[in-house]
Amino acid sequence: MEFADGETEGETEAGSSPGSEAGSEVEPGTTRPGGRTARVRAAVLRAAGDVLAERGFAHLDLADVARRAEVGKTTVYRRWGTVTGLVTDLLSDMAQQSVPRTETGSLLGDLTANTRLVTRTLADPRQGALFKAVIAAATCDPKAAEALHGFYAVRVEEWAPCVAQAAARGEVPEGTDAHEVVRAASAPLYYRLLTTTLPLDEAAADRAATAATAAARAGAYVRDV
């Protein structure tokens, strides 16, 4: 799993992987937070992520997930209902556990922290395969696409203030679209993941951050008035 500078190994942009502790079948929402309901959810989401990483979206089956998580099938069907409902909750949980934004005092430093975090996530065997599976699902399943868009909306929003701070320091022009800059920084890394066999490493992360910073400083992402 990826981890940002100064963070503990095991953390990724998508957050720490849901725990594998299983609980007994329980009516969702009837126990206190941190009790068996939370343990069941963690176990099911972990199992769902494992299936996505190992076999892809097409082979994600609620009964199989329940078996892997060692919980009752009725619990899984009652709480999540459909495969896309489960994927939606998985991505929501990943977004909530995401590693917080790093502040370095410069736009290049902040974007480099971001791209290195993204790179470590995508280079991780489990997380990279999971994202490939969800991205593939999003191309043909509207609900999967909506869930994926929601995940990235949370992540982009988390990092957007670094661009606003850069504008306040005079590093980039006023009116620079912060969300576009953050997306531009990570876009080359996803392109590399999905279209090449080139390594995802810090060199690739640093180039992506440098390119996005240079474009932002040149005014490439100033919003049209």
- SS in 3 state form for 107-124? HHHHHHHHHHHHHHHHHC
Alpha-carbon torsion (183, 220, 189, 52), positive or negative? positive
**Residue 20 buriedness (CB in 10 A; 0-12 / 13-18 / 19+):** middle
Q: In a structure prediction context, what are the per-residue pLDDT tens digits for the chain, which is 225 residues long? A: 232 333 333 456 665 443 333 333 333 333 344 588 899 999 999 999 999 989 988 899 999 999 999 999 999 999 999 998 999 899 888 888 777 888 999 999 999 999 999 999 999 999 899 999 999 889 988 988 998 999 999 999 999 999 999 999 999 999 999 999 999 999 999 999 999 999 999 999 999 999 999 999 999 999 986
For the chain, what percentages of helix, strand and coil (3-state, to nearest 5) are there? 65, 0, 35
Token pair 């099911």 is found at 44
Contact 200, 119 (CB under 8 A): yes
Spatial CB neighbours of 122, under 8 Å, sequence gap ≥ 6: 128, 131, 189, 190, 193, 200
Contact 179, 114 (CB under 8 A): no
b/e map of 135-172 (b: 16 or more CB within 10 Å)? bbbbeebeebbebbeebeeebbebbbebbebbbeeebb
Task: List Cα–Cα distances, 112 to 18, 24, 88, 159, 202, in angstroms.
Answer: 27, 43, 29, 12, 9
φ, ψ for residue 222, nearest 5 deg? -70, 130
Model pTM score = 0.79
